[in-house]
Structures are given as C-alpha cells and as structure tokens.
Structure 1
Amino acid sequence: MATQDSTPTNLPPPARAAVALENDDRLDAVVTKASQVFAPLRESAAGSALRGEWAGHAIHPALTDLPIGMFTATAVLDLFGGEASRPAAQKLIGAGLLGALPTAITGWAEWTRADHRAQRVGVAHAALNVASLGFYAGSWLARRSDRHRLGAALAMAGSGLSGTAAYLGGHLAAARAVSSRHPAFASESEGSDFITSSGGAYNTSPTGPIP
C-alpha cells in the first residue's frame, strides 16, 4: 500500500506524480534489491570515480546527453530524412544503445548515496529507461532486417518512455538536488566532506515529511 503522505496541491500534475513516487512504499522491495546489487558502488574507489569526485561534481547528467542526443537525431532522420537517411538512423540507434551503458552505471553510483525517497523515484526512472532501451534495441534489429517503418515506430515508442524517464531524472537533479558535488559548491552547514547525492535537499528519513 502506498504511503499516504500529503502532496502539495499547487504542484503541476507531472510534479505531483513524481512526489507520489517518492511516497510510494510499494517501490521499497525494488529499492532493497537494487541496494544489494549496487552496494559495491557506495563506498568503493570505483563508485567515487563514477560519481565524478575527480571532476568536482556528478558526471551522470553530462553523459545522459549522449544517448538522448543520438536517439533524438534518429527521430529527426526518421521524420524528415527520407530513405537515404536510413543507414545513418540505424547507426545512431546503435551508438545510443552503447552510450546508455556508462550513463546508467554513473546514475546507479549516484543512486547509492541518495536518500530513500529519491531512491524510489530512481528505480522508476531506471525502469522507464530500461523499457525505452528495449524499444530502441527492437528498432535497431528491425532496421537491420530492412523493416524501417517498424524500426521508426519502435523508436518513437522508446522516445516517449525516454522522455518520461528524463522528466523523473530532472526532478531528482533539479527539485531534489540528487547530485554529488565538491564541498566548495555547498553551504557551510553541509560540512567539509565531498557532498553526496541529496545532501540537504530535504528530510532524508524514510518516514520524514517532504516540504
């Protein structure tokens, strides 16, 4: 049963949906499983590198531009490029699928340090991305078999899921400040250590209120 925390009534519908995910304890089983799988990224040197401590702040947002850019370019070619653009569209889909791997692993590294409510949104964000990539993979296979119209249709379906996932990612980064950063970018109250995901964004207790 979903947690019945109050949601501000003046939020736009997409934001209300994102807050509802934050409050939905039905996602906790998935959060627990993912926590076990990605636990090695929480304290390890690999996790530190993937969170961008060497760069001063999270690198995951920058990496998302690679698959999103490739998939967006594919949509433009599908809509306006004509038959001559089909080989390029297929290559863009393949490049986007390859670029999704480093993007995902840096996102999971951030997720391990996020608070519980952000992790709920994070697993929904990941699930939508996985579903989107499934459609894009199907699109690539269809194009490889010269079924380009089917490939374009599958890519459009993937684009819709990817856009929804991107909104949730934006909610985490912009509304809930889920992003590692050097302490030079933080307020004095946040301490002197490298600030990890959701530091100071809102109450990090799983049962605490959301402002």
Structure 2
Amino acid sequence: MAPLSRALARPPLDRWTLGKTLGHAIHPALTDLPIGFWTSAVTLDVIGGPDARRSAQQLLGIGTLSALPTALTGVAEWDQIPRPESRVATAHAALNGVAMVLFAGSYVARRRGRYAVGVGLGLAASVPATAAGVLGGHLTGVRHVGIRDPAYNADDVGPQVQRPTS
C-alpha cells in the first residue's frame, strides 16, 4: 500500500488526492457519497417494495463507483498518518474494502436476477460499512487525524479543542 500511497501523494496528484486545492483533506467529504448511496439502497430494500428494486440497484452501482475515488484519497493520506493511528486506519480501510466488495456483489447479484441474494449482500455489507464509519469518525474526531494546510493555522482564533491526556 505504501508505494501507491506515496504515488498518490506526489505532485501534481496531491493537489486533488490530499485536497491541497481546498486546504484540507478531501477524503472525509467524499465518504458521504458511497455511504449515502448505499444507505439509500438498503433503505429502499427494506421499505421500498418491488417498485424500488431498480432504484436500489442503481444506487448500489453509483455508490460502488463513488467509493473508488474515496478509497484512493484515503490511500493517498496513508503515509501522512502517525503510527498509532495507522492501525486504526488499517482496520478502517479493511472494513471499507469488505463493505465495497459486498455492495458490489449485491449489485452483480441483482443484475443477474438474484434479487434476494442481492438484498442479503447489501444488508450484510451495512455491518462492516457502519463499523468502518465509526473508525473513520474516531480517526478524525478523537485522534484528530486529517490533512490540513498549515496556512489555516493562523486562523485558529476560536475556542481550542481540549485533547485527552491519556
């Protein structure tokens, strides 16, 4: 993973993969796309009825496609993460990989007319996807992992976040 991470974090790709054009990491913002599409698909499976099948399938496909650039931006940040947090990031990435494979499998099953299998795979994929989201939130909210342009440090005039000492 490290060679890919380093390649994605080099100029000129780093302007996009690390969010340098925005001044902060792009990965957290991109995660809303696959999460939203996949959650919507599972919701349609649960409460949408037969008329929602095609829409759920389309949402799964779009979610899986949107997961690709999301994963690449996460990989680009890999070498930027301090060692203790990199273990959490590894678990986050692994769970997301499992979720993506299961959601893609759900899409394929539906395309082949195996709707019940597709629904089952989509529901199963929700478990690692949710766990990965919890770990991602932990990385950013608790461990304060994320790429931020140093130019923004001068703007820190508001209340400071109290970090735990343990």
Q: CA deviation at 1:43?
A: 3.9
C-alpha distance after superposition, 1:177-197 (max 9, x if no partner) = 111112243379xxxxxxxxx
* Alpha-carbon contact 1:42-1:113 (below 8 Å) kept: no
Q: Which has the higher helix share?
A: 2
Q: 2:88 aligns with which of 121, 128, 151?
A: 121
The residue number in structure 2 matching 1:106 is: 73
Unaligned runs of 5+ in 2: 156-162
Aligned match of 1:130? 97
2:152 and 2:28 map into 1 onto residues whose CA distance is: 17
Report the RMSD for the aligned CA atoms in angstroms. 1.9
Unpaired runs of 5+ in structure 1?
Answer: 1-33, 189-200, 203-209
Answer yes or no: is the 8 Å Cα contact 1:75–1:155 preserved in 2: yes
Q: How does 1:51-200 map to 2 (within 5 A)?
A: 51-186=18-153
Aligned length: 159
| Cα distance per residue 1:29-64 (max 9 Å; x no partner) | xxxxx2233222344331243111111111111100
TM-score when scaled to structure 2? 0.88
User: What whole-Å deviation, never above 9, does each CA across 1:73-111 have from its counterpart, x for those lacking one?
Assistant: 001100111001101100000000000011011111122
Deviations 1:3-40 (A, max 9, x none): xxxxxxxxxxxxxxxxxxxxxxxxxxxxxxx2233222
SS at match of 1:55: coil
Percent of residue pairs identical: 43
AA aligned opposite 2:79: T
| TM-score, scaled relative to structure 1 | 0.70
Q: Kindly tell me: are residues 172 and 187 of structure 1, through their superposed partners in 2, closer, same or farther at Cα, counting changes over 3 Å?
A: farther
On the 8 A contact 2:40/2:59 being kept in 1, the answer is yes
SS in 2 for 1:146: coil
Which has the bigger relative contact order, CA under 8 A and spacing at least 6? 2
